[in-house]
Amino acid sequence: MSDASYLSLEKLTLAYGDSVAVANLDLTIKKGELIALLGPSGCGKTTTMRAIAGLLAVKSGHVRLDGADITRVPANKRAVGLMFQSYALFPHLSVYENVAFGLKLKGMRGPELDAKVQSGLKSVGLSNFANRRPAELSGGQQQRVALARSMVMEPKVLLLDEPLSNLDARLRLEMRTELQRVQKATGVTMIFVTHDQAEALALADRIVVMKSGKIEQIGSPEDIYNRPTSSFVADFVGFENIFPLENGKMKTGAGLVDLSGSLSSEAPSAAGLAWRPRMVTLGTGPFQGTVRGTSFAGDSREYLLDSPLGPIKAEVEASQPAHALGAGLSFDLPAEKAAPLSRFV
Amino acid sequence: MTARSLFIPVTLFLVIAFLIGPFLIIVAASFSAGETLAFPPQGFSLRWIAKVFTVESFRASFGMSLFLAIGGTAAALVLGIPASYALSRYKLPGAEIVRTVVSAPIIVPGIIVGLALLRYIVVPFQVGITPALFLAHTALVLPYAVRVVSASLDNLRSDIEEAAVLLGSSRLGAFFRVVMPNIRGGIMSAFILGFVTSFNQVPVSLFLSGPGVRTLPVDMIAYMEIVFDPSVAALSSLLAFLSIGIVFLAERFLGFSRYV
Ligand SMILES: Nc1ncnc2c1ncn2[C@@H]1O[C@H](COP(=O)(O)OP(=O)(O)OP(=O)(O)O)[C@@H](O)[C@H]1O
Ligand SMILES: [Mg+2]
């Protein structure tokens, strides 16, 4: 075993009956890493997590953890923690008993147990709530109990399935910080599922983007945000203007169009190019468009243009003069700013 | 008031009178001082209520009814809880058919159930009277047990079991540690409903009772064929108040009506 491949999924295939949900997935995670699993609904994120936890039987492939093949190890012997989106607290037990549940099953008793539970509760700031029932707690507090309940078990890996999606915006930020703090303090290897790219970018050491049961791209938040390798990932992280390339030209609604400027040296083999709305130059350039929609977003203003190339989304500083609906505008898609995509899907 | 606005209150009154009336008449008749069952009661006395406790066969059949109600219901729960669990947690092929078959005794008239049991089980297999009654009462209570326990299982999220497993519990352990405690109310309610159903059951028991072994309601019918004194009314009143008391306590402490 090495710390570099603490948890590895090898050619993992998962299915419900005959319908394959995850196919041939390979993923290697370092010890102590915080991984975000990002992807659209139904792409197999929950399925993958359940297989790591042992709640779903593996159809083929292997799961290795800490040097051991755990593919066939039952869920209760894996030392993998899972925080459910619904928290799944035991309604008939107090907060204290919820946290003590797993420790008691390990055979822990008396002062040792008490000390462990108390420190678990303290670490999530719930020492004063030990005697409450889950139903008497707010959503954020329930979440903390669930976190403490998993963490006192000292799992080798902690999985979190959309841990923040049930919380309101303010609590979300608070819990985000909390998760990060707990992860840094304990060094636990963590994988969390999210729909929210901002959350993934803010928290993760590495992001895994999934699409229909396959990994589309793995990379640091910077990689994913700035250097998407496929049109799918580009679209997912907000590159809204995407064109395929053919013989060095953009394939558009107006046929093959010459690039404006030249590609950076690494990109000649690119299958497509992508621009964020902010990368589009408005007011000058070789292309012509008509303003079809505009929306004001505080610092910036967004325009939807109709152009022979197809619809274009552009974003400019709000301090610049506004363009009216129906106004004709020239614009540019500078090739040197574009993200080159190696796969167009 | 117009005739129209009187219609609803009058109907309501009649319905209530029709439902409660016979019960009130029986209660009144049990305090009669006279020798025969009659309404309005002649005078007032507690002698018939006292007599109930001295009739030997009532004591024996009460014991039998109590045994069947408690034992039969307990057996129905032992079978019904795992069955309900399997029905609600696993997508079993034919689950709907099982549900229907299990519920059949609610829909099929007791006479038919009794006759069928007698003709095709008790007689061919030479089952004794007590085991036959026990079997019949278990079967009769089973649908109620499955129904009520299923209702409370459906209200319980299944992910708490997975949470328990990930915290080190076995599947079976998770069932006893986190499922059972959370459906306790449903189980108690099923028990009470089953108890009352079994205790008040007549037609099936009528078929299966035999010499010396009877349930209380069957015994009361037999008694009335010979003696027509108010002690049967007195016994009925006592039983009715017992049922009401049990259901009242159940509602008070368990929220019985949530499950039934
Ligand atoms: N219990 C199940 N039985 C059959 N198919 C299922 C089951 N659970 C999920 N699936 C299918 O497996 C695929 C992956 O589902 P999964 O729940 O892993 O998606 P997800 O990425 O977690 O989506 P979401 O973001 O909506 O939670 C989907 O096509 C889904 O329809
Ligand atoms: Mg999911």
Q: Which atom of ligand 1 is nearest to the CA of A195?
A: 25
Predicted local confidence at residue B129, as pLDDT: 85
Q: How far apart are CA A217 and CA A210, in angstroms?
A: 7
Region of A23 (left: φ > 0; alpha: ψ -120 to 50; beta: rest) is: beta
Q: Whose CA is nearest to atom 30 of ligand 1?
A: A42
Query: What are B17's two structure tokens?
Result: 């009178």
Q: Whose CA is nearest to atom 28 of ligand 1?
A: A42
Burial class (CB in 10 A: 0-12, 13-18, 19+), A342: middle
Q: Which residue of A has its CA nearest to B158?
A: A88
Whether the pLDDT of residue B178 is over 60: the answer is yes
**DSSP state letters, A247-267:** TTEEEETTEEE--BS---TT-
Predicted local confidence at residue A146, as pLDDT: 94
Q: For the sheet containing A206-211, what is the strand order?
A: A80-83, A157-161, A189-194, A34-38, A206-211, A214-219
Q: How far apart are CA B59 and CA B64, in angstroms?
A: 9
pLDDT in tens, A16-45: 989 999 999 999 999 999 999 999 999 999
How many CB pairs (< 8 A) connect A and B?
Answer: 57
Matching CATH number, A3-226, of 3.40.710.10, 3.30.70.1090, 3.20.20.10, 3.40.50.300: 3.40.50.300
Q: Is A40 in the pocket of ligand 1 (CB under 6 A)?
A: no
Q: Whose CA is nearest to atom 25 of ligand 1?
A: A41
Give A167's DSSP letter. Answer: S
Asked whether the beta carbons of residue A82 and residue B166 sit closer than 8 angstroms, the reply is yes
pTM value? 0.82
Q: How far apart are CA A332 and CA A275, in angstroms?
A: 11
Q: Where are the domains of chain A?
A: 3-226, 241-341
Distance from CA of A138 to the nearest CA of B (A): 18
Whether the pLDDT of residue B86 is over 60: the answer is yes
Backbone φ and ψ for B14, nearest 5 degrees, come out as: -65, -40
Query: What are B26's two structure tokens?
Result: 């029986």
Structural domains in chain B, CATH included, are: 1-45 (no CATH), 55-258 (1.10.3720.10)
Whether A22 and A12 have beta carbons less than 8 Å apart is answered as yes
Tell me which residue of B206, B191, B68, B186 sits closest to B138, measured CA to CA. B68
Interface predicted TM-score (ipTM) of this complex, two decimals: 0.84
Whether A311 and A304 have beta carbons less than 8 Å apart is answered as yes
Residue B157 alpha carbon to ligand 1 centre in Å: 18
Predicted local confidence at residue A266, as pLDDT: 64
Whether B158 and B89 have beta carbons less than 8 Å apart is answered as yes
Predicted local confidence at residue A201, as pLDDT: 92
Tell me which of B166, B170, B180 to substitute to probe the interface with A (most A C-beta atoms closer than 10 Å).
B166
Burial class (CB in 10 A: 0-12, 13-18, 19+), B122: buried
Radius of gyration of chain A (CA): 24
Whether A53 and B166 have beta carbons less than 8 Å apart is answered as yes
Whether A14 and A212 have beta carbons less than 8 Å apart is answered as no
Most confidently predicted of A20-24, A137-141, B51-55, B233-237: A20-24
Question: B56-89 and B129-154 helices cross at what angle (nearest 10)?
Answer: 40
Whether A289 and A329 have beta carbons less than 8 Å apart is answered as yes
Matching CATH number, A241-341, of 3.40.50.800, 1.10.1840.10, 3.40.1360.10, 2.40.50.140: 2.40.50.140
Q: Which residue of A has its CA nearest to B164?
A: A102
Which residues is A160 bridged to in the sheet? A83, A192
pLDDT in tens, A229-263: 999 999 999 999 999 988 888 888 888 888 888 77
Asked whether the beta carbons of residue A86 and residue B168 sit closer than 8 angstroms, the reply is no
Residue A78's Cβ-side half-sphere holds a number of Cα atoms within 13 Å equal to: 27
Burial class (CB in 10 A: 0-12, 13-18, 19+), B75: buried
CB atoms within 10 A of CB A110: 7
Residue A211 alpha carbon to ligand 2 centre in Å: 13
- Name residues of chain A where pLDDT drops below 70: 1-2, 265-268
Predicted local confidence at residue A265, as pLDDT: 65
Predicted local confidence at residue A290, as pLDDT: 94
The long-range contacts involving B93-102, CB below 8 angstroms and separated by at least 24 positions, are B99/B146, B102/B142, B102/B143, B102/B146
B173-207 burial by CB neighbour count: b if 16+ within 10 A, else e?
A: ebbebbbeebbebbbbbbbbbbbbbbbbbbbbbbb
Q: State the DSSP H helix or E strand holding residue A101, giving kind and residue range, or none if neither.
A: helix A95-105
Confidence of residue B259 (pLDDT cuts 50, 70, 90): low
Confidence of residue B42 (pLDDT cuts 50, 70, 90): confident
| Contact with chain A for residue B182, Cβ under 8 A | yes
Average of pLDDT values for B164-177? 95
Average of pLDDT values for B227-244? 86
Asked whether the beta carbons of residue B168 and residue A91 sit closer than 8 angstroms, the reply is no
CA distances from B80 to A98, A191, A260, B9, B102 (A): 29, 40, 74, 43, 9
Mean pLDDT of chain A: 91
